[in-house]
Amino acid sequence: MPLTILYFAWVRERIGQAEESVTPPTDVVSVADLIGWLAGRSAGHAEALAEPERLRAAVDQNFVALDAVITGAREIAIFPPVTGG
Amino acid sequence: MIRILVSSDPIDLAGEMARMEGDDVGAVASFCGLVRADDGVDRLELEHYPGATEAALDRIARAASERWSLQAATIIHRVGPMHPGERIVLVLAAAPHRHDALDACAYLIDRLKTDAPFWKRETRGGEARWVEARHGDAVAAARWTDPTP
């Protein structure tokens, strides 16, 4: 099943799109695996996703650590640390 | 009663305060954050994650309502372009007594800073830059997770 990926803030700007639909290979199990795999999609992806320690993620709108498993997820968001308020 | 609002409209301070008042309410504590003109910032833009942001704010308000004796909690956050002096966030807590209202209000804004998906982009003289998360915000939020006696 295709997975919806959402990007926010400078991650979105560097990738050049806010949203895309992807079907990762079966060996992509965690958010970190997904980030590594997405980085190969374009030069913009590679630049935006080069430093995973600067990224945060949400799986189906819940904040998770990057080692979280994505099996069965429908929507994954990748973004910088939040700066609201 | 919990009220969550994420909107590009200006924040109506008086109207929101008035919503909190009632015969049984003894205290309304408020925090209002404004856009600062730090080092010549002339424009601030707020991005959010529609749906997930509102859900995160709702979780924060529910956690506050479980922890303190609150009659109402309001979290309003503005998104989109703003200018120095404008209100960016308003947090209100209503309780029978002041300590619950004041502590809950501080909790709401401290947790919002680290737990709700918003991103600030500031522009100075035509040059835009994304604001970096501050370590102090994580420290402020963490103090509320310390075990309470």
**Mind listing the pLDDT tens digit for each residue in B105-129?**
999 999 999 999 999 999 999 999 9
- pLDDT computed for residue B147 by the predictor: 53
Higher pLDDT, B39 or A73: A73
Question: Which architecture characterizes domain B2-145 according to CATH?
Answer: Alpha-Beta Complex (3.90)
Please report residues of B whose CB lies closer than 8 A to that of A9.
Answer: 47, 119, 121, 130
Predicted confidence band of residue A56 (pLDDT cuts 50, 70, 90)? very high
- Name which of B44, B48, B41 is nearest B76 in CA terms: B48
A4, containing H or E segment:
strand A3-7
Nearest CA in chain B to A10: B130
Report the pLDDT averaged over residues A48-64. 96
Predicted confidence band of residue B145 (pLDDT cuts 50, 70, 90)? confident
Q: How far is B112 from chain A (nearest CA, A)?
A: 7
Nearest CA in chain A to B111: A85
Q: Would you say residue B36 has pLDDT above 80?
A: yes
Q: What ipTM, to 2 d.p.?
A: 0.94
Report the pLDDT averaged over residues A54-58. 97
Structural domains for chain A: 3-79 (3.10.20.30)
Please report residues of A whose CB lies closer than 8 A to that of B112.
Answer: 84-85
Q: Would you say residue B146 has pLDDT above 70?
A: no
List, for residues A61-77, the tens digit of each pLDDT value. 999 999 999 999 999 99
The overall average pLDDT reported for chain A is: 97
Report the pLDDT averaged over residues B91-113. 98
Q: Would you say residue B149 has pLDDT above 80?
A: no
Q: Can you give the residue ranges of every domain in chain B?
A: 2-145
CB B123 within 8 A of CB B131: no
Helix, strand, coil percentages in chain B from 3-state DSSP, rounded to 5: 40, 35, 30
The torsion angles phi and psi of B75, rounded to 5 degrees, stand at -130, 120
The contacts found for B18-22 with CB under 8 angstroms, 24 or more apart, are: B19/B72, B19/B74, B20/B72, B20/B74, B20/B92, B20/B94, B21/B94, B22/B71, B22/B94
Q: pTM for this one?
A: 0.94
Predicted confidence band of residue B104 (pLDDT cuts 50, 70, 90)? very high
Neighbouring-strand partners of residue B46: B80, B120
Q: Closest to B55 (Cβ–Cβ): which among A10, A61, A84? A: A61
Q: Would you say residue A10 has pLDDT above 50?
A: yes
